[in-house]
Structure 1
Amino acid sequence: MSSFTAEHTPAEIVKVFPKASDLFKERRIDFCCGGDRPLGTVFTEKNLDEAIVLSELNTAFDSWSKEDHEIIDWDQVPLSELVDHIVYNHHAYLNEELPALGQFVTKIFRVHGAKHPHLKELYRLYNDFKVDMEEHMIKEEGEVFPLIKEFEKNPSEKLAHHIHEANGGLEDEHESQGDILKRMRVITNDFEPPADACNSYRITYARLAELESDTFQHVHLENNVLFKRIK
């Protein structure tokens, strides 16, 4: 791909140029749940300057393309390997990080909530996200992913239909989880701690930003690659 245009979707771009996700996050451009709409539509909705964003995107892509990268074409990776990658990387990360980060979110709410009232909303949002994601991963690993692995061995229209039925609510859940992350970014001023923030406060915000980044990549792989390959 020589250059990106307003006709490309964020999801298509991130498949080819993973680092584009950083630029999209800065501009609050959704590349996972709502990532299948042309950039031109997004620019209009968000009142973004098309020429500036495309220039920045293509300049970054040009520089990145000249470096030595291992590019994985997830559309060609066997379904079982893609599922395992999601489970052993993204699910494993969440299973370890969600309880640990929850302790930090609780701590800064308890210590600083009176002075910084947005921490109460952050506490509630985080715990909603944690419960939703834990239930979501259990459903994927217990129901949907085994069906996808079976489909890889014995593909059939009936099994594909069964997977899409089982997957019915997953994409809606992804959108809901994405909305929570977006709201957390807004109320934390893009995860920028206040000038007087203590170390725990700063660690919490840094880990929330990392959680957002990993989750958006995770959801992108599921919505825009894995689920779309079941036909």
Structure 2
Amino acid sequence: MTLLDQSLGTLAQEIPGATAVFNRYGLSFCCGGSHTLLEAATKAGINHVALMDELMELQHPVDEASTWESASTADLVQHILGRYHLVHRAQLKELVRLADRVEQVHGDKPEAPNGLADHLRLMTVELESHMQKEEQILFPLLTSGQAQMAAWPIRAMMAEHEDHAGALDVIDRLTNGLTPPEGACNTWRALYSGLATFKADLEAHIDLENNVLFARALREA
């Protein structure tokens, strides 16, 4: 079965980031979630090939840190910027939108993740500040061969990584371990699916920096 044959509701739950694509095209994956991608695109007059290509680009595996052990520092930094920094910014923007929607519609239910949207906004601010410090200060030091000057910034970033891990624990608490309740709507399920991928990505990002990029720099300092 191709993506075109799958329902919008299924795709929204299984492909993190798909909800942002559907929202941009004006496709309803909640109320109209039973329609296949091809049916919805045809009805809306959308180029279904372009739509499918966008969804396929979202399907990427989480990288193993070990595969980057032999990469140059410059290549590793570029990978982190594209695979994680850029992706986190898009992920959090969409997750805040979905969390707002779920809280607005289902906030009166005992299982609702009330407070999640505000927590994600706080994470957005904190993670953006963290990434900018890496992009503007730490990464230029590392790629210019000045590892000896990077020890203090590295330790500061590693401390902030601990804070990010704590913020992920709060997400688990607010969402009952990312478990949607029985009968949850497509938006609710898509939110938790997207959060699961964001969590896996952020953990992989932290692991790659702590155990490959930063560990290398500290050895060279």
TM-score range, shorter chain: 0.5 to 0.7
Q: Which residue of 2 is the match for residue 21 of structure 1?
A: none
Counterpart pick for 2:68 among 65, 74, 79: 74
Q: Which residue of 2 is the match for residue 106 of structure 1?
A: 100
Deviations for 1:107-149, whole angstroms, at most 9, x for unmatched residues? 1112212223752232232122111111111111111111100
Q: Cα distance, 1:71 vs. partner? A: 9.3
Q: Which residue of 2 is the match for residue 202 of structure 1?
A: 189
Amino acid aligned to 1:196: G
| Identity across the alignment (%) | 32
Q: 2:65–2:212: 8 Å Cα contact kept in structure 1?
A: no
Q: Distance in 2 between matches of 1:137 and 1:84?
A: 13
Moved over 6 A (4+): none
Q: Distance in 2 between matches of 1:125 and 1:71?
A: 28
Matched, 1:126 2:126: no
Q: Which residue of 2 is the match for residue 116 of structure 1?
A: 110
Q: Distance in 1 between matches of 2:65 and 2:77?
A: 18
CA RMSD of aligned residues (A): 1.9
Q: Distance in 1 between matches of 2:173 and 2:138?
A: 32
The total of aligned residue pairs comes to 155
Amino acid aligned to 2:131: M
Q: 2:85–2:131: 8 Å Cα contact kept in structure 1?
A: yes
Q: After the TM superposition, which residues 35-114 of structure 1 pair with which residues of structure 2 at under 5 Å, given as runs? A: 73-114=67-108
SS of equivalent to 1:128: helix
Counterpart pick for 2:160 among 169, 173, 178: 173
Q: Which residue of 1 is the match for residue 148 of structure 2?
A: 161
Unaligned runs of 5+ residues in structure 2 are 1-63
Q: Distance in 2 between matches of 1:185 and 1:108?
A: 16
Q: Which residue of 1 is the match for residue 205 of structure 2?
A: 218
Q: Cα distance, 1:80 vs. partner? A: 0.7
Q: Distance in 1 between matches of 2:173 and 2:67?
A: 33
Matched, 1:193 2:187: no
The normalised TM-score by structure 1 is 0.62
Q: 1:138 to 1:188 in 2, by over 3 A?
A: same
Q: Distance in 2 between matches of 1:183 and 1:127?
A: 13
Q: Distance in 2 between matches of 1:71 and 1:122?
A: 30
